Structure 1
Amino acid sequence: DKWVAFYCGTGWRASETWFYAYLMGWQRIAVYDGGWHEWSRDPVANPIEVGEPEDEPTA
């Protein structure tokens, strides 16, 4: 029941990946259409985390 969001540098490659997931019947999928370029333009509103991913993400 979790969402999967696809993203890339500007959004167009993520939309292609989203489409393949859609064709395979995936549910609860989304695209961040502004991509990394848009996200990184406002680091105050959109913090960027670095480091190793956690085994179990916390909400």
Structure 2
Amino acid sequence: KDGKLRLAKMREAEAAQGQAGDETYLDIFRDFSLMASDDPEKLSRRSHDLHTL
């Protein structure tokens, strides 16, 4: 659930800096890796959400 919050923060950072910080990106990537092992179905739903942002 804090993956979405982190994504929102990343988008704010993009607006402020012109690009996302590597650290935030790595956090999101780690969240997705954890989700993939914990709940693959949730991952595919979340990935679809990301593509439609």
> TM over 0.5, yes or no?
no
Larger Rg over CA atoms: 1
Larger RCO of the pair (alpha carbons < 8 Å, separation 6+): 1
Return the TM-score normalized by structure 1.
0.31
